[in-house]
């Protein structure tokens, strides 16, 4: 009895070990820390707000941007490049965008060099998930 319980626990531990590397590598918001992302967002905040009802700055308001079609706000004047990109802001697209906007959408007016640290990318996306 004791022995079989131990082997069940052992198998569970092995399963957890096998599962964890995949989790660590995914781009899901669960990989990010929204509180740390709020600090990263300071680098976006000179151009963006992310609060409901707040206005646009140099960039559009980012409230509820996750899952939204790109260039969707009627009261912001987007670049033709972003308007014709056809992008929907999934986690993957957001990750590519904040890492290098000009690479994802050549000709975009978002003049931001990009976040070079993958942790910053995941964390700021987790933060955007809280804004809805
Ligand atoms: C220098 C100003 C500036 C900074 C800094 C900046 N952005 Fe932007 N952002 C813009 C502009 C301008 C646009 C519109 C781009 C266009 O129309 O091509 C934009 C667009 C976006 C969009 C698309 C919104 C939509 O409605 O389709 C997202 C998402 C976004 N920015 C996220 C971020 C995040 C996250 C950061 C920080 C890591 C950031 N931006 C930093 C200026 C900025």
Distance from C-alpha of 80 to C-alpha of 105, rounded to nearest angstrom: 10
List pLDDT tens digits, range 53-109.
Answer: 999 999 999 999 999 999 999 999 999 999 999 999 999 999 999 999 999 999 999
Q: Give the pocket of ligand 1 (CB within 6 Å).
A: 43-44, 46-48, 58-60, 62, 65, 70-73, 78-79, 81-82, 89, 94, 97-98, 108-112, 115, 124
Distance 112 CA to ligand 1 centre (A): 8
pLDDT tens profile 115-124: 999 999 999 9
| Atom number, ligand 1, closest to the C-alpha of residue 78 | 17
Q: State the pLDDT confidence band at 112, using cuts at 50, 70 and 90.
A: very high
Residues 6+ apart with CB under 8 A from 9: none
- pLDDT of 7 reads 58
pLDDT recorded at residue 18:
46
Please state, in angstroms and rounded to a whole number, the distance separating the CA atoms of residues 41 and 48: 9
Atom of ligand 1 nearest to the CA of 120: 38
Pick from 120, 100, 95: nearest CA to 111: 100
Is a pLDDT exceeding 90 seen at residue 28? no
Ligand 1 centroid to Cα of residue 78, in Å, is 10
Q: What is the pLDDT of residue 77?
A: 98
Q: Is the pLDDT of residue 44 over 90?
A: yes
Give the Å distance between the CA of 79 and the centre of ligand 1: 11
């Amino acid at each position: 009895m004791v022995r079989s319980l131990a082997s069940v626990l052992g198998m569970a531990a092995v399963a957890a070990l096998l599962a964890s590397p995949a989790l660590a590598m995914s781009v899901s918001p669960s990989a990010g820390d929204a509180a740390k992302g709020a600090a990263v967002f300071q680098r976006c905040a000179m151009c963006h707000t992310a609060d409901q009802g707040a206005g646009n700055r140099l960039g559009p308001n980012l409230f509820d941007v996750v899952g939204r079609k790109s260039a969707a706000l009627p009261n912001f004047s987007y670049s033709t490049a972003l308007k014709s990109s056809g992008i929907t802001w999934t986690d993957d697209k957001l990750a590519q965008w904040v890492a290098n906007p000009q690479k994802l959408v050549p000709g975009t007016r978002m003049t931001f060099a990009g976040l070079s640290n993958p942790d910053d990318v995941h964390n700021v996306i987790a933060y955007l998930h809280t804004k809805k």
